A and B are shown apart, each in its own frame.
Chain A
Amino acid sequence: MTKLVQLLFEGVSVGCLYALVALGFVAIYRASRVINFAQGSLLLLGAYLISYMVIDKSVPWFLAAAIGVAAMVMVGVLFQVFVLRRVTGQPVFTVVMITIGLNIAITALVPAIFGVNQRPDGTGDPIGTGELTVGGVVFTWVNIWSIIVTAIVLAGFFCFDRFSRYGLATRATSVDEEAALAVGIPVRRVNALSWGLAAGIATIAGIFLTAFPRGLDPTTGDIALAAFPAIIIGGLESPLGAVIGGLTIGIVELLTQGYESNIPALGHNFYTIAPYVVMIAVLLIRPYGLFGQRPVERI
């Protein structure tokens, strides 16, 4: 029983981080109708920036984190301004491939700049290795803070989305870009903002993903691939779906990891593909995810 609770807690914790990454995807999808395959590399770059500042340059952690997140927001905005604006009107596949190209380039650039060595302290070990034990279940502070910070970011995002002018503008743009343009919404600024936001959220997720015991190395960006099932399950344009999808994936992953030895037929490390299997199962029933919407085509 304690094992189950333990797995559930860890699943929720990592699920929260998946939810953050997924939220970044959704923010961009709503703005540009594109899945940003570079999300993982943005996460990676952000984490390395902070790590470099803290470990190599002895910058105080909070300052480094603030600078890192702000810098990555700028990177997101710059990418939208200098690359994506040139390809408006191109088919979705084209833009997706551009983000894939960006992902490959940035992911290779990071070790080129910062070296290939593992950084076991992640972004500077901000939380430490402490933990609480309650009733046989271990709650690491890293996991606890992951959940708390995710909740804060999510709350912030939802407030922004529902109650702010730019949030409304973003929603309007995602429904009908031409109409938004027609009523004077600064669509380009809205899009740039969404990209900046996504990059910033990814960096925050990166901070917790590289904390003890996972560490930071050039493959950390691969986590984004694990977040794909989250956005697909939740539906590409639904922030709520992203959260539910992320949590689902996290829990599925941890539960399968914990119990897969009971079913040897699934193979070693089945938990790495369990999210994808769940995703395919969901899509068979609902081809646009749980909360996604069928695009409307005028005949």
Chain B
Amino acid sequence: MATPSVAAEPVRSGVRGRVRAIRLGTWLTLPVLAVGLVLPFFLDDFWISTLVFVLIGAIGGLGLNVLTGYTGQVSLGQAFFLGVGAYTAAVLGQDHGVNALLWIPAAGLVAALLGGLIGPTALRLRGLYLAIVTIGLVFIGQHIFVNLESVSGGSQGRAIPQPAFLGLDFSSDQNSILGIGFNRDGLYYYLSLFILALAMIFVRNLTRTRTGRALQAVRDREVAAALMGVDLARAKVGAFVISSFLAGVAGALYGAFLTHVDPLQFNLLLSIQYVAIIIVGGVGTVWGALLGAIFIEGLQPVLERYSDSIPLLQHSAGEGGIAVGDATDIIFGVLIVLFLVVEPRGLIGIGARARALAIRTRVARSRQAASGLEEKA
């Protein structure tokens, strides 16, 4: 009797598949990075500028994932920190002529500082109460922005300075690096890609070390975390600081790319967009922010671009169909509901399920083959 030459792999549960799927992320990094680096050469400006919004959304989303996904502090206040970042950039860059190499991190630091001041509220408030206070933060923030006219330009808004460093001028379409021409969209794309990559590496490292584990412990079981020696206050405030830093940087980039912002843009819907990004992508994962941002930030541009070919869709209201803006919102809302009902773990969860399914199929086939061999023996 021959022994089967096909070694049967132990069947892994769907959950183990999930663990594998996330570690798969590290293998995917290089190819994805390579694709990301050459992508702009194959796309037209419309797509490149859409990708810039995607990358910026991913940076802010990554920050929110640290706060909500890893530490379990529900926050709808991201819009406030984005605004702080944008206005810090404006004040330092334009009013004081500081270079972007300084005002981009400074935007993050100022937002982080405010995050550190607001963080302690999370110590006293739980769950929904905290969420609503963060909503209040957005409203109060907007109120302050509108009234601080010297900083924000009031409801008219103000211009945000364009970065200029290393011989590159982000306000012009005529830049070149090593003989290759870059327009404005391209420059912003690579700058955002670079910052996102750094941020993702940072957060990924966090999850493999003491701090990342402590944050997740706080999310899962606070009492047990404290018994392990985790300082709850430091963990929660720290999460706010990290999250706000990334939001501030994203806000500065966002404002600079748009060239002009007004306080009404930093509203609750913007915060909700960021929450949607991490939900659709995968709460509590590193890649989730990018995956979610592709969906959420890409939705409206795609609909606008193809509105002529989609029936019922019109550019603006009153032309007999649904306005693109409204359609975006409807799909946006439905997407959120759908993801949460079907796969609360977002795209990463879907990826893990697919992989677990593939493993099960592979094992089933190998078992079939093995039993086939046994029969012949």
Point out residues on A near B: beta carbons under 8 Å.
Answer: 34-35, 83, 86-87, 90, 92-98, 100-109, 111-112, 115-116, 225, 228-229, 232, 236, 267-270, 272-273, 276-277, 279-280, 283-284, 287-289, 295, 297, 299
CA distance A14 to B322 in the complex (A): 33
Q: Is the CB of A280 within 8 A of B341?
A: no
From known contacts A111-B326, A112-B323, A273-B143, infer whether A280 and B333 are also in contact, taking CB-CB under 8 Å: no
Chain A residue at minimum C-beta to C-beta distance from B125: A287
With contacts A87-B341, A283-B125 known, is A267 near B268, CB below 8 A? no
The answer to whether B140 touches A94, judged by C-beta atoms less than 8 angstroms apart, is: no
Chain A residues within 8 Å of B223, by CB: 297, 299
Given A267-B143, A283-B133, CB of A104 within 8 Å of CB of B336: yes
- Contact yes or no, B333 A103, CB < 8 A: yes
Contact of A105 among B74, B317, B332 (CB under 8 A): B332
> What is the chain A residue whose CB lies nearest that of B275?
A97
**Count of chain B residues with a beta carbon within 8 Å of a chain A beta carbon:** 45
**Which residue of chain B lies nearest to A292 when distances are taken between CB atoms in the complex?**
B129
Q: Which residue of A lies closest to B140 (CB)?
A: A273
Distance, CA A92 to CA B275, complexed state (A): 14
B residues whose Cβ falls under 8 Å from a Cβ of A = 68, 74, 124-129, 131-133, 135-136, 139-140, 143-144, 146-147, 223, 268-269, 272, 275-276, 279, 317-318, 322-323, 325-330, 332-337, 340-341, 344
CB distance from B207 to the nearest CB of A (A): 20
The reply to whether A35 and B144 contact each other, CB–CB distance below 8 Å, is no
Least CB distance, B192 to chain A, in whole angstroms: 26
Chain A min CB distance to B123 (Å): 10
Given A35-B128, A86-B341, check contact A112 B322 (CB 8 Å).
yes
List the count of A-B residue pairs having beta carbons below 8 Å apart. Answer: 139
Q: By the criterion CB–CB under 8 Å, are B132 and A272 in contact?
A: no
| For the complex of A and B, 10 pairs with smallest distance between CB atoms | A105-B333, A101-B336, A108-B329, A267-B147, A104-B333, A276-B136, A101-B337, A108-B326, A112-B322, A101-B333
CA distance A87 to B342 in the complex (A): 9
User: Are the C-beta atoms of B333 and A267 separated by less than 8 Å?
Assistant: no
Contacts A96-B131, A277-B140, A287-B125; A268 near B147 (Cβ below 8 A): yes
CB distance from B124 to the nearest CB of A (A): 5
Interchain residue pairs with CB less than 8 A apart (29): A34-B128, A90-B340, A93-B127, A96-B128, A97-B340, A98-B337, A100-B272, A101-B276, A101-B332, A101-B336, A101-B337, A102-B337, A104-B272, A104-B332, A105-B334, A106-B333, A108-B325, A112-B323, A116-B318, A116-B323, A228-B135, A232-B129, A232-B132, A273-B139, A273-B143, A276-B136, A277-B140, A288-B129, A289-B129
Closest to A87 in B: B341
Query: Chain A CB within 10 Å — which of B275, B334, B336 has the most?
Result: B336
Least Cβ distance of A106 to chain B in Å? 7
| A111 closest partner in B (C-beta) | B326
Query: CB distance B74 to A276 under 8 Å?
Result: no
Residues on B with C-beta less than 8 A from A103 are 333
Residue of A nearest to B341 (CB): A86
Per the bound structure, the CA–CA distance linking A280 and B279 in Å amounts to 27
Query: Does B136 contact A280, Cβ atoms closer than 8 Å?
Result: yes
Closest Cβ–Cβ distance, residue B262 to chain A (whole Å): 15
